[in-house]
């Protein structure tokens, strides 16, 4: 047997402490000769088994979150002072508790994040974050509750808090060639109770008229070769679309859309604009197309239909943020995407009361 240093021996194989053992079976059949490779603990290509090895206990989770939240100096989440906090190194709170020398308040790595006031072990939290960021179509609260052994309601609240971190609030505008398109999320009018059918109430279809019984519009803006943003709206009228364009797209960008009438206002407010006519079966017109945006809609709609089945208008933006994050990080490995989630964790809190309150 060949050991880590390349020596041949017939005794038990001893691995240095900085290695994590990982046996990989190469080949298409179980009868193929197995080969042994060593996983060096990198987060870049981490899979689920390696995640569990990386975080065997609560202390390893606390150390990781501290490293991601405060890579240089610790920032007190109570008073905001940088570099004045220290970690307890002895006693029953060693490695767990911090204290700020400025405001004299104690805190843990949970404070000032979605983990605050949560009784769920951090190991379960990190597993839930990994699954939510790595599974392409998402994971349902029922399935997550089985994976980490919590109630379905608890799993749902955990997922909503994880999605809350996906929202970055970036002020950087999209540039170059930008596709702008809209999609409509909700059930078919024919599948609803008779008294809820919009066709019976207004004489119009179920798509995008702003009624509580109609489908909910989502406007997508994607920079070709760059980032995407998806915003749930009340309607797709000219005022709504032009406001989104001004807020998210650079004035020097060229915007490509379909034939939806309100987009004709784009040149009037200073944008370069070209369109395709989907109604006439035209999907490419020179450089104009919305194919990149359509590919994102396919992920969003199939995820909602196949995993979540129903998403209310009240919570739709959180789901849009989830799919947007995975779309914008699709070039990363699962481990890199898992780490990237923590870049936006500071100051993120989502209380159950505010999440479940009725929204206008």
d(CA 158, CA 27): 38
CB 287 within 8 A of CB 281: no
pLDDT grade, residue 206 (50/70/90)? low
pLDDT for 136-162, tens place per residue?
Answer: 999 999 999 999 999 999 999 999 999
What's the pLDDT at 24? 37
What's the pLDDT at 208? 52
pLDDT (average), residues 290-309 = 94
pLDDT (average), residues 31-55 = 65
Task: Name the residue ranges covered by the structural domains of the chain.
Answer: 20-51, 177-328
The residues near 247 (Cβ < 8 Å, ≥ 6 apart) are none
Report the candidate in 309, 299, 312 with the shortest Cα–Cα distance to residue 142.
309
pLDDT for 326-342, tens place per residue?
Answer: 999 999 999 999 999 99
What's the pLDDT at 27? 39
Least confident of 58-67, 189-198, 241-250, 261-270: 189-198
Helix or strand (DSSP H, E) at 335: helix 334-341
CB 339 within 8 A of CB 43: yes
Q: Which tokens belong to 216?
A: 């909910």
What's the pLDDT at 10? 47
Neighbours of 41 (CB within 10 A): 13
d(CA 109, CA 252): 43
pLDDT for 160-184, tens place per residue?
Answer: 999 999 987 778 999 999 999 999 9
Give the C-alpha distances (Å, rounded to integers) separating 215 from 11, 229, 245, 255, 324: 67, 19, 22, 25, 20
What's the pLDDT at 353? 86
Residue with tokens 């959180």: 318
The CATH H-level superfamily of 177-328 is Ribonuclease H-like superfamily/Ribonuclease H (3.30.420.10)
Q: Which tokens belong to 72?
A: 């240089």
Residue with tokens 């109609």: 214
pLDDT (average), residues 302-313 = 92
Report the percent of the chain where pLDDT is more than 90. 68
Q: Residue 306, SS3? A: helix
Report the percent of the chain where pLDDT is more than 70. 83
Helix or strand (DSSP H, E) at 179: strand 177-185
Which pTM was predicted?
A: 0.81
pLDDT (average), residues 257-283 = 95
What's the pLDDT at 28? 39
pLDDT (average), residues 306-318 = 93
């Amino acid at each position: 047997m060949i050991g880590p240093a390349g020596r041949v021996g017939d005794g038990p194989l001893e691995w240095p402490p900085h290695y994590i053992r990982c046996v990989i079976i190469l080949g298409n059949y179980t009868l193929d000769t197995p080969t042994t490779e060593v996983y060096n603990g990198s987060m870049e290509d981490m899979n689920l088994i390696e995640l569990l090895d990386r975080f065997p206990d609560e202390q390893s989770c606390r150390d990781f979150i501290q490293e991601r939240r405060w890579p240089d100096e610790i920032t007190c989440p109570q008073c905001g002072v940088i570099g004045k906090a220290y970690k307890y190194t002895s006693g029953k709170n060693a490695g767990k508790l911090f204290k700020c020398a400025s405001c004299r308040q104690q805190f843990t790595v949970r404070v000032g994040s979605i983990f605050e006031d949560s009784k769920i072990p951090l190991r379960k939290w990190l597993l839930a974050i990994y699954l939510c960021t790595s599974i392409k179509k998402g994971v349902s609260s029922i399935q997550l509750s089985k994976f980490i052994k919590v109630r379905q309601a608890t799993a749902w609240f955990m997922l909503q808090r994880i999605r809350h971190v996906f929202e970055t609030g970036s002020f950087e505008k999209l540039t170059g060639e930008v596709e702008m398109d809209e999609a409509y999320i909700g059930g078919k009018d024919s599948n609803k109770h008779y008294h809820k059918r919009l066709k019976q109430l207004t004489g119009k279809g179920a798509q995008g008229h702003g009624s509580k019984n109609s489908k909910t519009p989502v406007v997508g803006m994607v920079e070709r070769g760059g980032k995407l943003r998806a915003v749930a709206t009340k309607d797709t009228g000219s005022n709504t679309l032009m406001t989104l364009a001004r807020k998210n797209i650079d004035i020097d960008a060229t915007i490509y859309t379909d034939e939806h009438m309100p987009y004709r206002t784009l040149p009037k407010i200073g944008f370069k604009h070209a369109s395709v006519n989907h109604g006439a079966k035209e999907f490419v017109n020179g450089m104009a197309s919305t194919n990149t945006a359509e590919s994102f809609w396919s992920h969003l709609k199939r995820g909602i239909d196949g995993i979540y089945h129903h998403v209310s208008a009240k919570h739709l933006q959180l789901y849009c943020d989830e799919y947007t994050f995975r779309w914008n990080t699709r070039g990363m490995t699962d481990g890199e995407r898992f780490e990237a989630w923590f870049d936006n964790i500071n100051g993120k809190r989502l209380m159950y009361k505010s999440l479940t309150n009725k929204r206008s």
